[in-house]
Amino acid sequence: MTSPEKNASPRRRRIPTAAVNRLPVYLQILTDLQLQETTQVSSDQLAALANVNAAKVRKDLSYLGTYGTRGVGYEVAFLIYQIKRELGLLTEWKTIVIGAGNLGAAITVNGGFASRGFPVVAIFDVDPRKIGARVGDLTVRNLDEMTDFVGNNGVHIGVLAVPSTAAQSVADDLIAAGIGSLLNFAPIVLTTPKGVAVRNVDLGVELQILGYHEQMRGQSSSQHNPVSV
Amino acid sequence: MTSPEKNASPRRRRIPTAAVNRLPVYLQILTDLQLQETTQVSSDQLAALANVNAAKVRKDLSYLGTYGTRGVGYEVAFLIYQIKRELGLLTEWKTIVIGAGNLGAAITVNGGFASRGFPVVAIFDVDPRKIGARVGDLTVRNLDEMTDFVGNNGVHIGVLAVPSTAAQSVADDLIAAGIGSLLNFAPIVLTTPKGVAVRNVDLGVELQILGYHEQMRGQSSSQHNPVSV
DNA sequence: TAGATTGTTAATCGATTAACAATC
DNA sequence: TAGATTGTTAATCGATTAACAATC
């Protein structure tokens, strides 16, 4: 670009999936650095902290635009802002949790969620013994109210902390109500229409993959297999 | 290879990472199918259930060996066995949970873990008010006992459900005690020696990636971006 | 200027998938 | 045999990374 074009709406480049998945990790590290009053960081340093290749860091950051200074590095605060902008974290995304069991409560209360721009605005359950109970600042609502709530409050993200048997049906209701993204903790593959983003977090799957690596460790006792998965 | 070699110890092929990550998903689906008394399945059916390409399913399964029947498909029970064998799930892997907060308790009690071959044999905390309390079948132990426990009981996997500030130090202790794999819920990148497998499950990261997709939905309102992340 | 570090190119590597011969 | 489906090849696509000119 030779002349500084006026972009009323900033150009939206599509960033490779693999890079998008790493941006939150950089963001986390940069936020830590900022807490420690570090103001500048090089791709080498960032790479060491994130356990990746420095070239990868530079390439990932280059998708955000050209925000480093040759010979110097990157300004931490500015990079944090740019990553947030790119990931859409300058806005808050209203989130609801479905399922007020152990996991649902842990998520709602532990609340790394709110502090990262994802306020949990409601929690739902079907169990009459749970409806009305307090979970953190919230009162557990009846699942019957969920569809209306999503519509009336412009909820963006639904977190499924329900048994596998209920997950698909709850997901269908959420999607019908207009929700755009699902974070699913139930160990099933959800069927969803295109345009709805789903991320599955199956703790059993995570463990099984670790099981594989444990087995590999045991097998080739002479040859230890370095794995950072 | 022209002559059929006698392999006393079965040859250990290295399976591509991407395939290893999908095997637990197939296993889950196959287990469901078995519950529904389905005995045969084709790569097309399995692909539809797993939301992936049928060629990918066949290629993934081919790493296990040649266990399908042309014109027919795969036998569910046999495939389950082969995936379990490959992932090292014919053995149980002793697991401990560190951190008896909401999340630690949810993991220990909800216990999809035990039923999938990862018995949680102990849970630890530093908080004197938690030590001695019951979590499911277990009594919360003092973190001081952790190193000894790991050594004496041959624990394989450690699950970190502690605050970020404590995570690295607990991880160091676990590794020193001889543990081989870590499942980390704290939002930091752990530093570990080669040979130790780490899987990070950062719920904040998951949400932020969903945030990105929500933003993309909003931006190009004409062009809906299909995402199954 | 000398030293450091970015941004980008291009080579390489690994993963995906269409296509089809093999074969039940 | 006819129909179906696997197992594998090879083309394609996307991700990684070494290397280095640009430049602070």
- Over the stretch A40-81, which tens digit does the pLDDT of each residue have? 999 999 999 999 999 999 999 999 988 899 999 999 999 999
Average pLDDT, stretch A117-130? Answer: 96
Q: Would you state the structure tokens that stand for residue B6, as one six-digit string?
A: 């006698």
CB contact under 8 A, A157 and B207: yes
Answer yes or no: do B100 and B201 share one domain: yes
Split at pLDDT 50, 70, 90, the class of B1 is very low
CB contact under 8 A, B204 and A17: no
CB contact under 8 A, B25 and A205: yes
* Per-residue confidence (pLDDT) for residue B10, from 0 to 100: 39
* Per-residue confidence (pLDDT) for residue A35, from 0 to 100: 96
Q: What is the CATH number of the domain that holds B124?
A: 3.40.50.720
Average pLDDT of chain B is: 89
- Over the stretch A4-39, which tens digit does the pLDDT of each residue have? 333 323 344 689 999 999 999 999 999 999 999 999
Q: Is residue A214 part of a domain?
A: no
Distance CA A106, CA A117 (A): 17
Q: Please report, for residues A140, B28, B59, B114, the alpha-carbon distance to residue A208 in angstroms, rounded to integers and kept in the order given.
A: 33, 11, 20, 12
Answer yes or no: do B99 and B195 share one domain: yes
- Over the stretch B114-128, which tens digit does the pLDDT of each residue have? 888 899 999 999 999
Q: Which among B117, B197, B211 has the least Cβ separation from residue A229?
A: B197
Split at pLDDT 50, 70, 90, the class of B14 is confident
Average pLDDT, stretch A100-119? Answer: 88
On the question of pLDDT at B13 being above 60, the answer is: yes
Domain boundary among A62, A87, A112: A87
* Per-residue confidence (pLDDT) for residue B74, from 0 to 100: 97
* Per-residue confidence (pLDDT) for residue B108, from 0 to 100: 92
Answer yes or no: do B74 and B110 share one domain: no
In a 3-state reduction of DSSP, which class is residue A40?
A: strand
Q: Is residue B28 part of a domain?
A: yes
Domain boundary among A52, A71, A87: A87
User: Which nucleotides of strand C are protein-proximal, with an atom < 7 A from a CB?
Assistant: 3-9, 14-19, 22-24
- Over the stretch B56-80, which tens digit does the pLDDT of each residue have? 999 999 999 888 999 999 999 999 9
Please list, residue by residue across A153-170, b when 16 or more beta carbons sit within 10 angstroms of its beta carbon and e when fewer do. Answer: eebbbbbbbbebeebbeb
Domain boundary among B87, B105, B137: B87
Q: Is residue A210 part of a domain?
A: no
Q: Is residue A29 part of a domain?
A: yes
Split at pLDDT 50, 70, 90, the class of B85 is very high
Split at pLDDT 50, 70, 90, the class of A125 is very high
* Per-residue confidence (pLDDT) for residue A43, from 0 to 100: 98
SS3 string, B127-162, reads: CCCCCCCEECCEECEEHHHHHHHHHHHCCCEEEECC
Residue with tokens 């960081």: A41
Distance CA B210, CA A116 (A): 12
* Per-residue confidence (pLDDT) for residue B220, from 0 to 100: 59
On the question of pLDDT at B166 being above 60, the answer is: yes
On the question of pLDDT at B53 being above 50, the answer is: yes
Number of compact structural domains in chain B? 2
Nearest CA in chain B to A15: B212
- Over the stretch A174-206, which tens digit does the pLDDT of each residue have? 999 999 999 999 999 999 998 899 999 999 899
Q: Would you state the structure tokens that stand for residue A113, as one six-digit string?
A: 């969620």
Answer yes or no: do B39 and B75 share one domain: yes
Smallest Cα–Cα separation from B15: which of B70, B80, B118, B88?
A: B88
Interatomic CA–C1' length for residue B42 and nucleotide D5, angstroms? 7
Interatomic CA–C1' length for residue A47 and nucleotide D24, angstroms? 21
Q: What is the CATH number of the domain that holds B56?
A: 1.10.10.10
**Cβ-based neighbours of A138, under 8 Å, separated by 6 or more:** A108, A120, A122, A123
Q: What percent of chain A has pLDDT over 90?
A: 79
B contacts of A228 (beta carbons < 8 Å): 192, 194, 197-198
Distance CA A126, CA A124 (A): 7
Answer yes or no: do A14 and A36 share one domain: yes
B contacts of A120 (beta carbons < 8 Å): none
Q: Is residue B15 part of a domain?
A: yes
* Per-residue confidence (pLDDT) for residue B87, from 0 to 100: 95
Answer yes or no: do A49 and A123 share one domain: no
On the question of pLDDT at A220 being above 90, the answer is: no
On the question of pLDDT at A101 being above 60, the answer is: yes
- Which domain, by its residues, includes B150? 95-205
CB contact under 8 A, A113 and B191: no
Q: Is residue B193 part of a domain?
A: yes
Answer yes or no: do B166 and B143 share one domain: yes
Q: How close, in Å, is residue B1 to chain A by CA atoms?
A: 22
Q: How close, in Å, is residue B192 to chain A by CA atoms?
A: 8
Q: Is residue A143 part of a domain?
A: yes
Q: Is residue A223 part of a domain?
A: no
Residue with the larger pLDDT of the pair B223 and B110: B110
Answer yes or no: do A70 and A36 share one domain: yes
Residue with tokens 């329900």: A162
On the question of pLDDT at B228 being above 50, the answer is: no
Distance CA A13, CA A20 (A): 12
Split at pLDDT 50, 70, 90, the class of B111 is low
On the question of pLDDT at B90 being above 80, the answer is: yes
Answer yes or no: do B143 and B194 share one domain: yes
Q: Would you state the structure tokens that stand for residue A12, as one six-digit string?
A: 């939206």
Interatomic CA–C1' length for residue A179 and nucleotide C15, angstroms? 32
Answer yes or no: do A188 and A124 share one domain: yes
Answer yes or no: do A100 and A158 share one domain: yes
Answer yes or no: do B198 and B114 share one domain: yes
How crowded is residue A171: how many other Cβ atoms within 10 Å of its Cβ? 24
Q: What percent of chain A has pLDDT over 70?
A: 90
